[in-house]
Structure 1
């Protein structure tokens, strides 16, 4: 790690948070660099994915670019064993929207743009939540890693206004095909990037580094394009 990267890491505040949604308390890890330009909420359809080495690796790369991250679980541990819940895109989307509301005062106070980074079924939930977000909680950019964006549904894909980047492994042909089909319905800026040699989990050497680089560039470019002091939500983080 170079001198500049060490300096950036020294100015990152980390905090364990609890996001309450009804009777459910979801655990999360918040990292916020000094003078951050945006806050990225990570979404995955499983439980305890905030501990995922892959997600943490990507989050760390985004932090070094001056982007805040919130890694949290859309499902409580007892819910994650239920396969049906993992594919309940509407339910996952509602959880993600509630989590976004819970950090809205943080976004407003620090003039942060908001973005989603979704994987697996969490990518579909991110697309749906972004499509349904009100103006005061606008999502400014979305990135999907190996995501089932097609599961967001035709209506959500057609309503999406947040620029969306879909990262898919070259050796993940089924998901690649589904992503290509989904892009036909997205009316806003969208792009598919195929990571050479990568499979669905991006375990291959250098694959996650590519994901972090492309995701970071996407978020930074689109956050910079948003007028400063644009309004976001008004609810407080729990």
Structure 2
């Protein structure tokens, strides 16, 4: 079997963040000959084990894109969030953790040469866009699935990474939130509606459509090594 056809190398990691004493559990998948990596920001009450995000990640791996699925909250924080449902909406904290993970990707020997994309779901999309605004020098593409980009607030105006917003056709209030958020952004941007899909894209073929859209967006924008990046 040649290197290009080997399955993605998968590693379970605990990543320490330089900006705090927190270490986060993560799963890193590195296909052979990849030039881009996608960092996942999960949504409300979810984790790196989300079956929806893992399905999308596996499809990205099959397209020669590396992925990093991370628990943005520690186990103690997850227990607190289960009780209060507050930390999932702490966009500033979650964005800071994504920035810390981005710095780790840039300094890690296996990932330092890869262009970086963010995939955010639900509230995680707000954190992803806020982090992309902070690290416009490092983040080359963003995809939001059923996201709450409005939670990024004023940071939307500072996003420079090309951004794809994917929303279910039967997710009415979130469609409106996405249109308003996109109007505030000054970058390459697109809103795509998946007909018949609800917020979690649980309908037949709905998540497959998300995976295809995300794959094509990331392949288009993460297809050069970082040494040639802006």
TM-score by length of 1: 0.87
Question: Could you tell me whether the CA contact under 8 Å between 1:45 and 1:122 is conserved in 2?
Answer: yes
Question: Retained in 1: the 8 A contact 2:39–2:67?
Answer: yes
1:32-77 deviations in Å (ceiling 9; x for gaps):
1011020100002446611111011000000000000000111112
Shift of 1:222: 1.2
- Structure 2 Cα separation of the partners of residues 123 and 170 of structure 1: 18
Task: Report the counterpart of residue 54 of structure 2 in structure 1.
Answer: 56
Mark the CA change 1:177 to 1:47 in structure 2 (over 3 Å): closer, same or farther: closer
Query: What's the Cα RMSD here?
Result: 2.2
The answer for the alignment partner of 1:145 in structure 2 is 145
Which SS does the other structure have where 1:51 is aligned? coil
Gaps of 5+ in 1: 1-6, 233-238
Residue 105 of structure 1, CA deviation:
2.4
Name 2:8's counterpart in structure 1: 12
**Does the CA-based 8 Å contact 1:47-1:79 persist in structure 2?**
no
2:90 pairs with one of 84, 88, 91 = 88
- How many positions carry a matched residue from both structures? 223
Question: Any unmatched runs of 5+ in structure 2?
Answer: none
User: Are 1:103 and 2:105 counterparts?
Assistant: yes
Matched residues in 2 for 1:142 and 1:127: separation?
A: 7
Matches within 5 A, 1:87-236: 87-106=89-108, 111-133=113-135, 135=137, 138-154=138-154, 156-224=155-223, 229-230=227-228
